[in-house]
Amino acid sequence: MHKSVLLKESIAILNPQPGELFIDGTIGSGGHSEAILEKIGPSGKLLGIDWDKNAIERLKIEKFKDFKNVVLVHGNYADLPKVSQSLKADGLIVDLGFSSEQLNGKGISFLKDEVLDMRYDAENSLTAAEVINSFNEKDLADIFWKYGEERFSRQISKKIVGERKGGRILTTFELIEIIKKAVPKFYERGRLHPATRVFQALRIYVNRELENLETLLKNLDKIVKNKPPHQTQICATGTRDNKSALWCGGKGRVAIISFHSLEDRLVKNYFRQMAKEGYAEILTKKPITPTEEEIRNNPRSRSAKMRAIIMKY
């Protein structure tokens, strides 16, 4: 069963209030959304979106079938400005990890022998197998380096192009064996599996993960609430404040959980630039990471980092 990462920490920093509108941009198995719904209550509203159509269908008939204040949409978080139809949210959470259910049958994991697919959305025509079998040596090396920071990217891409002359590379284990042949022996004895970075790079490239994340970050002002700093606002405590209160009405909160350095760097840089230009206030001076207890209970959480901001205008 999939376990939501940084669940308590994300709810604490987003601080959902009764009657608020929240968006879960990667609803997956619905763990974060369930916790949000408990806070916003029946007077609040939740919009959940996910690129995995099966995940949306499961949630509609299982977890949220009796919730009238939940709207579930099959789509990508990059499309949120269009999906939300100008209804700006009080809070947005985006968990960039993939759920346990998404590991099954798609060739995302290098621990299972499966078809090289890697698509979150089956309607996306480009599969990992098509990339591996049709892209030239230079393009493959560029993908492995840019999206996986794989230092042996050239050697691996050269070996792939050579091996595929004898037949198409169609499964995860076929690709893993080629990677092992291409890298030095000491690489196999390292902390990470030798295929980790190549599989990460392919998954990111096939699903356009960094491009979609950047689109989301560029459009946060269209997705969550913001108000000019000179406008007096009524805060959750019942007091009035121009600038210092964290949970004033009209100020949208955003929390993004990333799982590798490329995502985290992108989020950090955008949040810093927004804060520098006065559009947002950073709520996490340093990224929030899982506790040792959470890592023990959910080893997949070990690389998670959460950054959060509150919109100002």
What is the number of residues in the chain?
313
Give ranges for CATH 3.40.50.150 in the chain: 7-100+209-311
Domain with CATH 1.10.150.170 in the chain: 102-207
Angstrom CA distances, 12 to 7, 17, 32, 41, 113, stand at 9, 11, 12, 16, 40
Q: What top-level class would CATH report for the domain 7-100+209-311? A: alpha beta
Residue 227: the pLDDT is: 67
Of 265, 258, 262, 254, which Cα lies nearest the Cα of 301?
Answer: 258
What are the residue ranges in the chain where pLDDT is below 50? 229-247
Give the pLDDT confidence score for residue 229 in this predicted structure. Answer: 46
Query: What pLDDT sits at residue 308?
Result: 98
How confident is the model at residue 300, as a pLDDT? Answer: 86
- pLDDT of 137-180, one tens digit each? 999 999 999 999 999 999 999 999 999 999 999 999 999 999 99
Tokens (6 digits) for 52: 């995995």
Name the CATH topology of 102-207. Answer: DNA polymerase; domain 1 (1.10.150)
